[in-house]
């Protein structure tokens, strides 16, 4: 099996380019560009037939094994126009992570360098789709799933890797407005030894019931507790979570059931380089309630690619309510949001070498 190179990518441009959408009403993940990247894998040939083709529906057998058993993983990152260049934020980390997710789900890994090169080619073709209005970006969704036509319960022997692109606006309508979060103590998102650290499709399906429960009670997201003792904070919705307690930033340590967020890692590095105190450790829900009672819970925010930073204004576990920072976005939250989005948009110096230029 030879190593794939950019010259192996077959390109078939669309004959029917779509009209570009109004940048002020994009929503999130609803619209897609003209093209997509696709390649296939099987045990004999490895990854083969890399191609950039028109964005179009797939034809799948009703016996497609992934529809039944969920052997699928995905990634999410954003492309921006920064000072006239199309750029990505730490894309290496996303391809590293999709491989970690793939290994957990017994899917084949991709050559990370080739995957980034393929995305680069796709972005060069669909560059004009990268929106530039404030708060917008081109959301990049690489994903992988089995394509066997077989109902036996076993890992797929045929797999597809694809990348699609979605011009998107803010993930949450309110932007940096604080959200109300429901502390979930019945359902869990992930368990010890499970798939929580992977971006596996089924993790998200498993979270919908908790999400619906929160929504019915008027809450935007779920605060997930650990799956063993249901005592320690893990994530908020599909984001990592940070607390500012008594001047220190605290975030749950990576324990196998938490997704190792790239935004989380970037924020930790930025806060430390700003001279802030950052702790990665277990945080019990009781510690949060105590900190709130003692006036020490200063700020809470979620972190993830889609929203970047999302402030939490209220936590409620069905009995006791915590209002954080008078339901206002905290200073620390705003500052880290501005610093991170500043780097992403080329307005703040990229000291860490996080920005990847699509065209050098």
Q: Where does this chain bind ligand COI (CB under 6 A)?
A: 76, 238-239, 304-307
CB of 258 to ligand PLP, least distance (A): 7
263 φ/ψ angles, rounded to the nearest 5 degrees: -65, -45
Rounded CA-CA distance 49/147 in Å is 15
- Determine how many CB atoms are found less than 10 A away from the CB of residue 152: 7
Contact (CB, 8 A) for 182 and 236: no
CB of 252 to ligand PLP, least distance (A): 11
Residue 184 contact partner, candidates ligand PLP, ligand COI, none, CB within 5 to 8 A by sort of partner: none
Residue 50 contact partner, candidates ligand PLP, ligand COI, none, CB within 5 to 8 A by sort of partner: none
Rounded CA-CA distance 251/243 in Å is 6
Identify which of residues 26 and 306 has a Cβ nearer to ligand COI in the complex: 306
Residue 169 contact partner, candidates ligand PLP, ligand COI, none, CB within 5 to 8 A by sort of partner: none
Residue 262 contact partner, candidates ligand PLP, ligand COI, none, CB within 5 to 8 A by sort of partner: ligand PLP
Rounded CA-CA distance 35/167 in Å is 12
Rounded CA-CA distance 287/117 in Å is 46
Identify which of residues 50 and 142 has a Cβ nearer to ligand PLP in the complex: 142
Q: Which residues bind ligand PLP (CB under 6 A)?
A: 76, 199, 235, 238-240, 259, 261-264, 303-305
Nearest position to ligand COI, beta carbon = 304
Residue 201 contact partner, candidates ligand PLP, ligand COI, none, CB within 5 to 8 A by sort of partner: none
What's the Cα-to-Cα distance from 196 to each of 19, 151, 204, 274, 298, rounded to whole Å?
A: 39, 25, 10, 30, 28
Identify which of residues 50 and 167 has a Cβ nearer to ligand COI in the complex: 167
CB of 221 to ligand PLP, least distance (A): 11
Rounded CA-CA distance 264/220 in Å is 20
């Amino acid at each position: 099996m030879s190593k794939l190179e950019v010259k192996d990518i077959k390109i078939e441009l669309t004959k029917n380019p779509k009209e570009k959408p109004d940048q002020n009403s994009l929503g999130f993940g609803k619209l897609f560009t003209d093209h997509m990247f696709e390649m296939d894998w099987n045990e004999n040939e490895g990854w083969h037939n890399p191609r950039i083709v028109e964005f179009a529906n797939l034809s799948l057998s009703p016996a497609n094994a992934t529809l039944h058993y969920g052997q699928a993983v995905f990634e999410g990152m954003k492309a921006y126009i920064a000072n006239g260049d199309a750029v990505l934020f730490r894309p290496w980390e996303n391809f590293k992570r999709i491989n970690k997710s793939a290994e957990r789900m017994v899917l084949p890994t991709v050559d990370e360098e080739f995957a980034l090169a393929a995305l680069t080619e796709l972005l060069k073709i669909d560059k004009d789709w990268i929106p530039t209005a404030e708060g917008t970006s081109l959301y990049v969704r690489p994903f992988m799933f089995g394509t066997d036509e077989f109902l036996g319960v076993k890992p797929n022997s045929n797999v597809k890797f694809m990348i699609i692109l979605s011009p998107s606006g803010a993930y949450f309508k309110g932007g940096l407005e604080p959200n109300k979060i429901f502390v979930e103590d019945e359902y869990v998102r992930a368990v010890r030894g499970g798939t929580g650290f992977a971006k596996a499709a089924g993790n998200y399906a498993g979270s919908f019931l908790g999400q619906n429960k929160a929504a019915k009670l008027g809450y935007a997201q779920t605060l997930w507790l650990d799956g063993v003792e249901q005592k320690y904070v893990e994530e908020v919705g599909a984001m990592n979570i940070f607390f500012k307690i008594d001047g220190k930033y605290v975030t749950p340590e990576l324990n196998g059931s938490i997704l190792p967020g790239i935004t989380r890692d970037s924020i930790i590095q930025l806060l430390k380089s700003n001279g802030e105190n950052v702790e990665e450790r277990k945080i019990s829900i009781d510690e949060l309630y105590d900190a709130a009672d003692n006036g020490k819970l200063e700020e809470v925010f979620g972190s993830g690619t889609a929203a970047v930073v999302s402030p939490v204004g209220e936590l409620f576990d069905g009995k006791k309510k915590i209002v954080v920072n008078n339901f206002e976005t905290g200073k620390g939250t705003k500052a880290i949001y501005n610093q991170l989005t500043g780097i992403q948009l080329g307005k703040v110096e990229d000291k860490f070498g996080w920005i990847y230029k699509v065209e050098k």
